[in-house]
Homo-oligomer: A and B are copies of this chain.
Amino acid sequence: MASSSSAAPQAEAFPDGTTDYVPLRKKTYDIRKPHITEQPITLQNWYQHINWLNTLFILVIPAVGLISSYWVPMHVKTGIFAVAYYFFAGLGITAGYHRLWAHSSYKAALPLKIFLAAGGSAAVEGSARWWSSLHRSHHRYTDTEKDPYSVRKGLLYSHIGWMVMKQNPRRIGRTDITDLNDDAVVVWQHRNYLMSVVTMGLVVPTLVCGLGWGDFLGGFVYGGILRIFFIQQATFCVNSLAHWLGDQPFDDRNSPRDHVITALVTLGEGYHNFHHEFPSDFRNAIKWWQYDPTKWFIWTMKQVGLAYNLKTFPGNEIEKGRLQQFQKKLDQKRATLDWGIPLENLPVVSWDDFVEEAKTNGKPWIAIAGVIHDVGKFIADHPGGKALITSAIGKDATAVFNGGVYSHSNAAHNLLSTMRVGVLRGGCEVEIWKRAQAENKDVATVTD
């Protein structure tokens, strides 16, 4: 049921449902041929290491667009259209490629699927099938060698390096995309990818601006090329910035991080620590004040009946994760602090010796809760005054310390633990007296 097809002999102990990525277009592709990435980059072969097609799309054409914009005046209507089209393309990637196809976090009716696939094409970031397959590897093998855009290889690599440089397909972790192969929209877009990209990325913006208000050139440069450039750079940030900048409220074993800046740039994909922990949740942010327009879009589609089965992770589990991560940080912090000598490492002192040391040898010792404390250095600093603390030397001050005279703060208890010098044999004074009574023995009478 799980494994769809695999030419290579399957050696795994457990059928893990994954397959090598099988391209639907380039029929001659053979995964077993040696790959250029297996050779080191040299002055002679460097150009073979570069993926020139990707470089053309994500670097050369945008550069040409940027330069030519110098001569192309910006029409107000074209500007507004370009921004709207930017959001359309962005949602194609975030609500479509990412949350619908890569993570199946909700189900979409056909019109919505077509809308999202069209938007995704307009963003010029590969087909939904290719993108989702890689993205699943990214989640399954985050930060490892099999992660297609591991941030451990550098911020620039995770941003565009993984597209500009050729990648060894055998390195990328395998994933199960049988569900995508069953999705007609995904398969159609994949098979007609080049046509889709040219149409949605360039032709449509040019025609809209041209037929709409006569600005063919502006539509091409601003609505097409430059808008593509900006949406690409923005969504690439999910792989770079979102693994580099911000907090880790749910798990800090891997690189994903939460940051509002990333969220602002990426239509809400910036709560990436949450997302890697709860990838099947249609939300990336759960608080109402967090910026997640992709979530709002999906929710709106649900209201109009185009989206359904929106998956959410149980709130209880989310809070558990947050709590455990907090606890982890707290434990790390705790280990860096001084909590006083552990009781088991302290010498055991008898009551009589304790009194003797304090009374005869002038040791500034006070017994509290069965532990002997040297308060010598603290007498002058005692917020309750010298007199009170001095009056307790050589005595059991458990009761007075704990409310008899003053109910000391938590801080005072902490401070006390740093002054430990010994443990009383038998516990508090009263215990010692009770035992003596029971054993009918005499204890040295304590006099003030």
Contact = CB atoms under 8 A, between A and B. Distances in A.
Interface of A: 1-2, 13-17, 103-104, 140, 176, 178-179, 250-251, 253, 276-280, 311, 313-314, 316-321, 323-327, 330, 333-334, 337-339, 381, 383-385, 387-388, 390-391, 400, 404-406, 409-411, 414-415, 418
A316 B383 CA distance: 18
A365 to B, nearest CB: 18
B103 A383 contact: yes
Contacts of A414: 317, 320-321, 324
11 contacts: A16-B388, A16-B406, A17-B385, A140-B406, A251-B410, A277-B410, A313-B415, A314-B418, A316-B338, A320-B414, A323-B334
Contact of A337 (B251, B319, B325, B411): B319
A253 B276 CA distance: 38
B339 A411 contact: no
A425 B159 CA distance: 50
Nearest to A2: B387
Given A17-B385, A410-B277, A418-B317, A330 B326 contact: yes
A385 B179 contact: yes
A389 to B, nearest CB: 10
Nearest to A406: B140
Contacts of A317: 411, 414-415, 418
A333 to B, nearest CB: 6
A309 to B, nearest CB: 9
A13 B404 contact: yes
A2 B388 contact: yes
Contacts of A384: 17
A390 B2 CA distance: 10
A251 B317 CA distance: 28
A384 B178 CA distance: 12
Contacts of A400: 14, 16
A250 B330 contact: no
Contacts of A391: 2, 14-15, 17
A410 B250 contact: yes
Contacts of A280: 381, 383
Closest 10 A/B residue pairs (Cβ): A2-B387, A280-B383, A16-B405, A320-B414, A277-B411, A17-B387, A17-B388, A321-B411, A317-B414, A316-B338
Contact of A410 (B179, B324, B337): B324
A381 B320 contact: no
A160 to B, nearest CB: 28
A439 to B, nearest CB: 27
A253 B408 CA distance: 12
